[in-house]
Each structure stands twice: as structure tokens, then as C-alpha cells.
Structure 1
């Protein structure tokens, strides 16, 4: 039986684990809902030794800016199949232009989290991993519909600002496709076909719910969290052609419109 070891059983990785288990895989994992404790060194190393595949969704540590998995278990990662859930944030601000896997990753002064992401991204590729670069993730319980219903939706007055997004189930199908095809090591952007402004997504969610959209605000008036402000600090469109060509992947939800309707 094939066994996948997953570091960090979070929102996305849980759905990947469920998909693999439905196909007969054994899954071992760390995380609050995982099967073992990340700090249980001997048990984790033993499970790694018995696992045919390894996937990590653990981001770099905010304070040390190092990758916890590499720090603790890098010497035990000699598997034939390694996967890493990364971020399209490694591309930085492209001022609305398209980026693909050949676009240089960015490490800018003052952006420690991005620096760490870019360095971890490169380190995993150096290990021969399949690195899945993910834009804004949405899905059940985590979408513009939920923000509108909770009164947390915002429309920010930033003409020309766009970003890419991906439904969580399309991440799952991309990772599974990479496994099924034993895809070559390297980076793969998993994003939908229609980069769009956050305002357009919020407005469509309001239309589906029959609710008037929130008023336009400046970024300062919106008083967003640091993470939310990060989305508006960068402007890019993420190309997904390589994943389609190499993995044979096609998003089930090619735009936010299909994705939100499926969640309604």
C-alpha cells in the first residue's frame, strides 16, 4: 500500500488526504488534526521511513523565517516523491502582468515572510520536490460568500488591482494528477483561468446572495489585517499553462463564478 506522509494537516491538506484515502492510500500526518505530533521525533522519523511519498503544507516560521520541516527532518527526506504547497507570493508584485514558473522569485527587503517563502520554495526544489505555487485559496467555509454573510466583505478602491485564486478542490486534483503521472520535479502554478479584482468577486457573491455590495473604501479606511493587506500590496496574474500541459490538469472551477455558485 502506498503511504503519504503529510506535514501540516490544514484546510487544504485535509482534502488532499481524504482524496488519497478514497483511492486506497494510507495517510500519516502531523498537525492539530493529524495522526501524530510534529515534535515526536522518533515516531515521525519512523513513519517517514515507512512512507513512499511526502507532502508538506507547513509554511516558514514567521519569527525565525526558517522552514520547520527542513530544520527538524531535512536529513530524513530522501523519498522518491516530495511535494510542497507553496505560494504565488514568491513572485512578488508584477504590476498586473502575467507570471509563470519561469518568472524569477522575489526576495525583497522588509518582506521577511516572502523571503522565507522564496527560500523554502527553492530549497524544496533543490530536494527534487514538486512545488505547487498557490494563489488565494477559497472553498467551503472560506469564500467571498462567507465574508459577505458575516459582514466582513470589503470593496477596496484600487483600480487595476487583480489577483489569482483557486478552489481548494482544484488544488487537490492538481496534486493527485502530479502523483498519478509521477510528474517531473519543479514548480507548478495551480490557479484558475480568470485573475480578477477582489471587488468583482465580492460583487458577484453579493449578487448570488441577493445582497447589496458594501461601499467602496480606501485601503486605509478598510482597516484590514496584515495578511489581507498583503493581497492588495501585490498585483499579478498567475499563468497555469504548465500544470495543464504537464499534469493534464484542468480546473473544475475555471473562474470564481463557477466556484462560488458551487458553494452557494
Structure 2
């Protein structure tokens, strides 16, 4: 074997070592579909886990015994928890309860399943709201900021405790290399389309932002971050994943309307949103995060550094 041939073989062996067998909980969800595509494109073998018929492993994360039976005899290198119970944007606090349960009981069950499959890495979808809802000022929060502070009210504590528990289970489970990705608010293909008919019919009133901003991330960018975490995430580490242009909730929706040539939302006072308790809490928050750690350790930077650029990529060129 010549030196060139040996170098080529070593390079191929290195690439093959990086290919993994991955169990993806939530593979049929809005984020999960993009994650499956990103992982497959990187050469990994992805098996979906969920209740739908398109999943290679059909099971409900809430049913521990059925889940363990479904994965019996299977082997995976990495398990990813990207499952959600949301089928549309949450408006009231109760809309989050099923997803809260997936973050607690569902994660505990999936940790058991991961161990039984011999997986080493366990990657979880987390959220920047785990830093707490409310006004965090203008200074970007880093991963060193305390995560999961007690919520100001019982309903907020329910949501924050679920995010806190999900990360703790990922990091503290013996034998697993836990990695958490703290995402900004999602938009993009498969997500933003839900807003379009509401904007078209002028059924999406929004309060003014008054300086409040939130982190955002385009869905395919978020999926790329998951693939990077599978390959390069450091065990026990969390990573903020957001673009470089935080935007108020109303400003984001106005950008959607502009990109698709639709009417801007009507303006209403913030207090009028109080019956929509969860949406009101989100819209009343001000939060910025730094994604510098993801850049340095994962090699991840957003392809779309702002909502405007991400939405432009969605709009047909001939519109």
C-alpha cells in the first residue's frame, strides 16, 4: 500500500468512525424533520421514535414499559430528545402541560431507553426560557447564567421546572454524555406557515414591543446545531442556539407579513393579551443570549443571521 493510499484509507476510516446510529425522539415534528435531514446528510443513520407509523420505533415517551419493549434488542450510539406535544403555537399555559410532561417523565423514560440501547451520547432540545421569563435587560445571557431559577408564579414554575429537569436528567444520568441545546424561538419552513392564514385574515393582533426583544433561530439552522452537538458537543455542556439579531415578537410577525406580502397585524395593548396567558408572558419578556460557545466548541454559526434573511429564503423567487 502506497503512502497516498494509506492516507486515503485513514481519512475514510476517520469519516466512518464519525457515522453514528441515532435514535431521534420527535423525528416527525417540526424541528425533528429538519434534524433527521441534517443528520442523514452528515452520513448518520437515523431511526425515528414516536407514535406515528413513519417511525422506525413506535412508542409513546409517556409509556415507560411500552417504550422499553419497543427498543428491546436495538443498539444506538446517540439518542436525541426533540419530542414535543405542540401541534400549534401555545397560547395559554395549559397548552404547554403535555410538553412539560415530555420534558420530565418523558425524558426520564428516554434516559432508561438510551442506557438499554448502549447509547453513549444523549442530546436534548432545551429552550432559552429556562433562564426565566421576564425582563433580563440588554446584556446577552451566557450558559454560565443560572438556568432554571424558580418561577415567579406556580404556572411559570411548572414550565421552568420541566426545562430544569430535562437538562438535569441529561447531565446527571450515569453512563451518558449529556448535551443540551438552548434554542431561541423557532421560525422557518414548517413553522412560519401557520402564521400566514392568520395574517391574511387579520386575525393575529399584536402588542407593541416597546424595546422588548427575544432570541430567534431558523429551523434548518437549529437542525444543523443538533448535528454539530452529536459530533462535537462536550459532555455536560449546554449551548445557546440563536441568530445574531434578537427581535421583538411583534417585529418578528411584521417581518413575516412583509416577506410574504401580507397585512401587518393590528396593534392592541399588552394587557388585552392576558387571557392568552402563555403568549402574554412570552411577549412581555425581554431576553438576549450569546451563542459564542456554540461557535467556539461546536463550530456552529447561523446560516441566517437574522429573521429577514431566513424568511427571504422561504419566499418563492417568483412571488
TM-score by length of 2: 0.73
CA change 1:155–1:262 in 2 (3 A) is same
Supply the distance in 2 between the matched residues of 1:141 and 1:76 (Cα, whole angstroms). Answer: 29
CA change 1:94–1:209 in 2 (3 A) is same
Query: Which of 153, 156, 179 in structure 2 is aligned with 1:130?
Result: 179
Unaligned segments of structure 2, at least 5 residues: 1-18, 86-95
Within the alignment, does 1:43 sit opposite 2:43 as a pair? no
Supply the distance in 2 between the matched residues of 1:224 and 1:175 (Cα, whole angstroms). Answer: 35
Query: Which of 127, 134, 137 in structure 2 is aligned with 1:87?
Result: 127
Query: Which of 15, 19, 24 in structure 1 is aligned with 2:43?
Result: 24
CA change 1:76–1:199 in 2 (3 A) is closer
Offset of 1:77 from its aligned partner?
3.2
CA change 1:67–1:153 in 2 (3 A) is same
RMSD, matched Cα: 2.6
CA change 1:256–1:132 in 2 (3 A) is same
Supply the distance in 2 between the matched residues of 1:76 and 1:67 (Cα, whole angstroms). Answer: 14
Supply the distance in 1 between the matched residues of 2:281 and 2:165 (Cα, whole angstroms). Answer: 19
Query: Which of 23, 43, 57 in structure 1 is aligned with 2:82?
Result: 57
Offset of 1:59 from its aligned partner?
5.5
Offset of 1:182 from its aligned partner?
5.0
Give the number of the structure whose alpha-carbon radius of gyration is greater.
2
Name the SS of the counterpart of 2:47 in structure 1. strand
Moved more, 188-197 or 1-10: 1-10
> What are the superposed Cα offsets for residues 178-198 of structure 1, whole Å, 9 maximum, x if unpaired?
223354431001101011112
Within the alignment, does 1:96 sit opposite 2:137 as a pair? yes
- Count how many residue pairs are aligned between Structure 1 and Structure 2: 262
Within the alignment, does 1:181 sit opposite 2:216 as a pair? no
Name the SS of the counterpart of 1:67 in structure 2. helix
The corresponding residue for 1:169 is 220
Offset of 1:229 from its aligned partner?
2.3
Offset of 1:173 from its aligned partner?
1.0
Tell me if structure 2 keeps the 8 A contact 1:8–1:34. Answer: no
